[in-house]
């Protein structure tokens, strides 16, 4: 896998984080502007409710990306699966169009496996543009973490460049904020001596990873 410039990769990951935070942070800014000019008690209460919702959404996204992109400080070599589970559930929030189903056969995962689990889940969520089901599974088999994420719905939106990035077949010069996370998990799997697979049909996207347990160079 050809390596992109580390600074460029970091910049693109930051761009993706900022893109996802723009909406809730922007809503807080708008809410504060409305609150400053509003005198009706009921409307002020509504503004405060919207501010609280936007603040929670921003905090949930930051917690997610801290584990998905960051060093996950505060944890040891292994992370309780309740942490990524809570991060994914919070990212979905009250979206009634998404049903999430868990099949986690382990209590903890190595940090690199948590990164892969979160990023594959995020890719799968992005694919469910009209809602659907999200199945997430993880187990340990023969000294390796095995992760499976399946998104199923009426319409699956999956850019082929994301698949190319995951498998290291995308020119690093063509990476963007949208494809950089996929490239990162592919590179991480390669460093661990593992692999990433994906299969897309009209109604489902299947993402999988086999990650030998060991110390990766990323995270």
State the pLDDT confidence band at 215, using cuts at 50, 70 and 90.
very low
- Number of neighbours of residue 68 by Cβ within 10 angstroms: 29
Instruction: Tell me the CATH number for domain 6-212.
Output: 3.30.565.10
Closest by alpha carbon to 183, among 167, 199, 200, 198?
Answer: 167
124 is written with which tokens? 């799968």
Q: Round to whole Å and give the CA distance between 101 and 186.
A: 24
Q: What is the pLDDT of residues 122-174, one digit of tens each?
A: 999 999 999 999 999 999 999 999 999 999 999 999 988 999 999 888 888 88
Residue spans of beta strands (DSSP E) within 6-113: 78-80, 98-104, 108-110
Q: What is the pLDDT of residues 49-105, one digit of tens each?
A: 889 988 988 898 888 998 998 876 667 789 999 999 999 998 898 888 999 999 999
């Amino acid at each position: 896998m050809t390596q992109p410039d580390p600074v460029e990769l970091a910049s693109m990951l930051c761009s993706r984080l900022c893109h996802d935070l723009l909406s809730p942070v922007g809503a807080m800014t708008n809410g504060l502007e409305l609150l400053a000019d509003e005198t009706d008690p009921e409307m002020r209460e509504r503004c405060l409710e919207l501010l609280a919702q936007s603040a929670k959404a921003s905090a949930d996204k930051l917690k997610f990306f801290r584990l998905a992109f960051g060093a996950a400080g505060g944890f040891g070599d292994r992370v309780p699966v309740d942490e990524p589970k809570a991060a994914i559930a919070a990212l979905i929030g009250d979206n009634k169009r998404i049903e999430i189903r868990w099949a986690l056969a382990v209590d903890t995962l190595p940090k690199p496996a948590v990164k892969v689990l979160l990023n594959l889940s995020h890719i799968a969520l992005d694919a469910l543009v009209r809602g659907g089901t999200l199945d997430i599974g993880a187990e340990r088999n023969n000294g390796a973490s095995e992760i499976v994420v399946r998104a199923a719905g009426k319409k699956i939106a999956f850019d082929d460049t994301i698949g190319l990035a995951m498998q290291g077949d995308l020119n690093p010069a063509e990476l963007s904020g949208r494809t950089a996370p996929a490239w990162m998990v592919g590179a991480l799997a390669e460093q661990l001596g593992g692999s990433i697979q994906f299969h897309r049909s009209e109604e489902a996207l299947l993402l999988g990873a086999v990650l030998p347990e060991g110390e990766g160079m990323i995270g």
